[in-house]
Structure 1
Amino acid sequence: MSDIKKRKSIGILGGTFDPPHWGHLRLAEHFSRILQLDHIIWMPAGQPWQKGSDITPAKDRLAMSEYAIETLHDLFVDHHIYTKIEISTLEMAREGPSYSIDTAKEIRALYGPDASITWLMGQDSWFNLKTWHQWPELPKYVHLAVASRPTEDPSSFAVNAEGVKEGLFADKRTENPQLLQLNPYGHVLFDQNLQINLASSNLRDGFYNQTSWDELADAIPPLVLEYIEAKGLYRNT
């Protein structure tokens, strides 16, 4: 029997969550399974500096996140996933613009140098990564796990004349989730097994355009949708 103790494995799922949708939940479920996460930290952004001032108030996004977590917990129970889930208000409590690099540093300090910490993201976040504040510093604190689609594979890299891969974090790319489990930080995993194409901005537009309840219910967890309706969010006034 091996004497090697399993490294604690943490996933960070950050975002505006305006509103949370099934894509967020499925991404959390997927990476919880393949990375064998002990813990997922659902991290609503406070003042996302790239989003402008027209986002839904933090108290509503936090409430929607709490309802989303309730649904995610039930999903985990049904699928026999034992990952602990919690909402962190770390970014919401931070004054001024909210930067992911600051969050990565704080989570690393909280869990220590040995825990495997992975920032979970969809393909849209990956494509925008170069606009993030101090983005090259992220692998010094966390891994990145990207849910990408085969139709538009962001893990593809150009190869230079010497046969060396070029591109964003080309030297850190892996398709082996075990490398993320065995190391505390520094790897970028691309996974093409999650086929979800949802965006919060499109869902907000759906409310503005009076998209049918059935269509919205396919994209948004029911408790979240009930909260949106009760509060009258995303409706033109």
Structure 2
Amino acid sequence: MLRVYYGGSFDPVHNGHLAVARAARDGLQAEVWLVPAADPPHKAKTHAPAAVRAELLALAVAGEPSLHVERCELQRSGPSYTVDTLTALRADLGAQAPLAWLVGSDALLQLHTWHRWQSLFALAHVVVVQRPDATLDAARLRQQAPAVLAEISQRWLPPDALQDSPAGGFCLLTLPTLRPESSTELRRRIAAGEPWRDWVPEAVADRIEALKLYR
């Protein structure tokens, strides 16, 4: 079965993250692992320690079929480079296991800035999630990331074909309609004392309050 890995800082996890993970699970008929970054190289310092963010993720996916937490980046020192994570996963799972790395459409525009980004395709498929009201903007890609556009143009696969090969493909996955949610706005709401609990699973909200996070 296809294994999908969904990386991020998850600072904190919210319902939008879970919707993406469920869409990947259902749309790709896959097992999905959410991968909290210990030291995300493309973001500023996180607001909660990696172990706490992973704990909140575990609470969020508890009882969710085929959703899991992968803590491998917490066990490695230095920046949490995706290519290093996939290299380790590939070593553990073998050369023939179908793997995919899940990114958002905004991240695709920055893919060429990732450490050894072209090596990603030798290790896994790349899946981009997009909202139903958005499309992959080839003109913007051509302007901002022409090398990425050239790379993915020769790798297109339909979602149901990803499980037939271990790596090397690229596909788009359309999300269900969602209200806009972001960890930045969630942290702001918590700090400001505005309503926020309905943005996260109940167990996550209870733990955030118990630990007095994001105040």
Q: TM-score, normalised by structure 2?
A: 0.86
Q: What is the RMSD computed on CA atoms of the aligned residues? A: 2.3
Equivalent in the alignment of 1:206: 189
Q: Which has the larger radius of gyration?
A: 1
Does 1:86 pair with 2:68?
Answer: yes
Name the aligned partner's letter for residue 121 of structure 1: V
Aligned counterparts, 1:1-237, within 5 A: 8-37=1-30, 39-70=31-62, 73-74=63-64, 76=65, 83=66, 85-154=67-136, 156=138, 166-167=149-150, 169-174=152-157, 176-196=158-178, 197-212=180-195, 216-235=196-215
Alignment size in residue pairs: 209
- Higher helix fraction (1 or 2): 2
- Asked whether the 8 Å contact 2:73–2:85 carries over to 1, the reply is yes
Moved more, 184-193 or 91-100: 184-193
* Structure 1 pair 152–40 and aligned structure 2 pair: CA distance change class (3 A): closer
The SS at the match of 1:49 is coil
Other structure's SS at 1:169 match: helix
Equivalent in the alignment of 1:80:
none
Does the aligned pair in 1 maintain the 2:20–2:175 contact within 8 Å? no
Q: Is the 8 A contact 1:148 1:191 kept in 2?
A: yes
Structure 1 runs (4+) greater than 3 angstroms displaced: 155-160
String of CA shifts for 1:153-189, please: whole Å, max 9, x gaps.
Answer: 22535899xxxxx555222133x11221211111111
Query: Is 222-231 or 54-63 further displaced after alignment?
Result: 54-63
> TM-score, with normalisation over the residues of structure 1?
0.79
Unaligned 5+ runs, structure 2? 143-148
Unaligned runs of 5+ in 1: 1-7, 77-82, 161-165
Q: Distance in 2 between matches of 1:50 and 1:217?
A: 28
